[in-house]
Structure 1
Amino acid sequence: MSSISLSQEFTSPVAADRLFKALIIDSHNLIPKLMPQAIKSIEIIHGDGGAGSIKQINFAEGNHK
């Protein structure tokens, strides 16, 4: 088992709570729409999407660079 930690800061005209909801809470719906060439789908395997939830990321077929 492995874990990944990422940290990045940026400014946005969108409110922080709205960005958090879109990118973290609703990521299973949003990311496949934003990146259909790379992400086929994201499924919540266990939990409700909150802390401790397990998400399965299904990558699109093809050559990813």
Structure 2
Amino acid sequence: MSHVQPSYRSSVAKDVYWQDGENGKKITSVSASNVSSSQLKLYLDQYYPERYSVQLKRDIFRITIIGEA
């Protein structure tokens, strides 16, 4: 498992609010100006391995976590 440096974690997790989605999913949006795609991938791989999907639309990452977030 890859190690996520604290700076990555804080830049991704700062001001992130999860919303309940259908079937136990958790959903949030993060501005691409606040985090790079590589930082986001490192964070999600560390904390939600194989349990997430990401869509990028108009500089906003929309993240869905399957299971409890």
Confirm or deny a common fold (TM above 0.5). no
- How high is the TM-score relative to the length of structure 2? 0.27
- How high is the TM-score relative to the length of structure 1? 0.28
Structure number with higher helix proportion: 2
Structure number with higher strand proportion: 2
